[in-house]
A = this chain, B = another copy of it.
Amino acid sequence: MRKKTIEDYVELIYILQHEKQKVHTSDIANTFDINPASVTEMFQKLSKEQYITYEKYNGVTLTPKGKKIAIQTKQKHDTLKHFLMILGVTEAIADEDACRIEHTITPLTMEKLTKFVKFVNQTDGHQRWLDHYKYFDKTGKIIRCTPETESQCPIHGRHHEHLS
């Protein structure tokens, strides 16, 4: 599997903290499926760099610095995942890819993707184009419908009344 970054660790600690107060070596080791010894090493590093408070044999908590990064990362993750699912990627894979992309993407690209997701959400139920995309995704067929021809559109024609 992919090597975990500081962001991965901090994000996971953040998520686990909701259930556990103190997050332990084994929690991380299990979720990431890596050796506990590796987690201890990372705890030491994260502690040295002030992302977490670490007491030997007693779990960790996020510092404000760590929490900030965690929230930012989770935010990116959720947006990316949401975005991919709009395009028709399954949840499990969207999750996986979001996890990888969230660390490498530039702020500008993240911003545009965020806007795209907002755009789709805020026009929810009114994006005929998205139905057309999904139809294309399924069938490979492009069906154009202009306002004039929409009533004959095999995707929208029948439901025309409650769509507009």
Measured CB to CB, the residues of A under 8 A from B are 2, 84, 87-90, 93-94, 96-97, 100-101, 104-106, 108-109, 112-113, 115-116, 118-119, 122-123, 126-130, 132-133, 136-137, 142, 144, 146-148, 150, 163-164
Copies in the complex: 2
- Residues of B contacting A93 in the complex (Cβ-Cβ under 8 angstroms): 106, 108-109
Given A87-B112, A93-B108, A94-B109: 14 more A-B contacts, CB < 8 Å:
A87-B109, A87-B113, A87-B115, A87-B116, A88-B115, A96-B106, A97-B105, A115-B133, A116-B133, A119-B133, A119-B137, A146-B163, A147-B150, A148-B164
Q: In the complex where A142-B119, A146-B164, A147-B147 touch, is A104 in contact with B97 (Cβ < 8 A)?
A: yes
